[in-house]
Amino acid sequence: MSNTVVKVENLVKKYKELTAVDQLNLEIKEGEVFGLLGPNGCGKTTTISCILSLLAFDEGKIEVFGKEMTPVSYDLKSMIGIVPQNMAVFDELNVYENVDCFCGMYIADQATRKQYVDEALDFVGLNDFRKFRPKKLSGGLARRLNIACGIAHKPKLIIFDEPTVAVDPQSRNKILEGIVDLNKQGATVIYTSHYMEEVEQICSRIVIMDHGKKIAEGTSDELKRTIKNTETIFIEMDEPAASLTEKMKTLANVSDVSWKEGKLVIACTGGRHNLIDIMEILQAEKVQFGRVWSELPTLNDVFLTITGKELRD
Partner 1 sequence: MFWNTMKYEIRRNFRTKEVIIWMILFPVVLGTLYKFTLGNLGKANLYSTVPAAVVENEKDQLFHWIMDAMNNGSTTDKTDAESSIGGKPLMNLTYTDEANAIEMLKNGEVKGIIYIDPPDEKSEPDPQNQKMSEVMDMVNRMAADGSLAKYIDDENNNYVSYFMNDSGNGNFVSDTKLSLTIKSNGSDQSMLKRMSDMYVSMQQSSREMVASAFNGGAGEGFDNISKAMSSDVPYIKELELTKGDTDSFLIYMYNLIAMVGIFGSMSGLTIAQNLQANLSDQAARRSCSGMPKIKQVLAELLAFYLSHSICVIIAVTYITLALRVNFGDRLPLVYLGGILGGIMGVSFGYFVGAIGKMSYGAKSGIIMALNMTLCFMSGLMVPGIKAMIIKYIPILNEINPVAVISDSFYYLSVDADLTRFWGKMVMICIITLFFVLFGFLMTRRTKYASL
Ligand X SMILES: Nc1ncnc2c1ncn2[C@@H]1O[C@H](COP(=O)(O)OP(=O)(O)OP(=O)(O)O)[C@@H](O)[C@H]1O
- Residues forming contacts to ligand X in the complex (CB under 6 A) are 15, 18, 20, 38, 40-46, 85, 162, 194
CB neighbourhood size of 106 (10 A): 17
CA dihedral for 273, 299, 32, 11, sign (positive or negative): negative
In this structure, the strands spanning 188-193 and 33-37 are: parallel
The yes or no reply on residue 85 touching Mg ion (CB under 5 A) is yes
Burial of residue 156 (number of CB atoms within 10 Å: 0-12, 13-18, 19+): middle
Least spacing, CB of residue 65 vs partner 1, in Å: 13
Q: Which is nearer to partner 1, 63 or 97 (CB)?
A: 97
Indicate whether 286 belongs to the interface with partner 1 (CB under 8 A): no
Contact criterion met (CB below 8 Å) for 253 and 270: yes
Q: Does 80 bind partner 1 (CB under 8 A)?
A: yes
Least Å distance, CB 57 to ligand X, is 12
Q: What's the min distance (Å) between Cβ of 45 and Mg ion?
A: 3
Residues 158-197 that bind Mg ion (CB under 5 A): none
One-letter identity of residue 304: L
Q: CA Rg, the chain, in Å? A: 24
Q: What is the dihedral of CA 63, 85, 147, 91, to 10 degrees?
A: -120
- 278 lines the binding site for partner 1 (CB under 8 A): no
CB of residue 216 to ligand X, shortest distance in Å:
16
Chain positions contacting partner 1, by CB under 8 A: 15, 49, 52-56, 71-72, 74-75, 77-80, 82, 84, 86-90, 92-94, 97, 100-102, 104-106, 108, 113, 131, 149-150
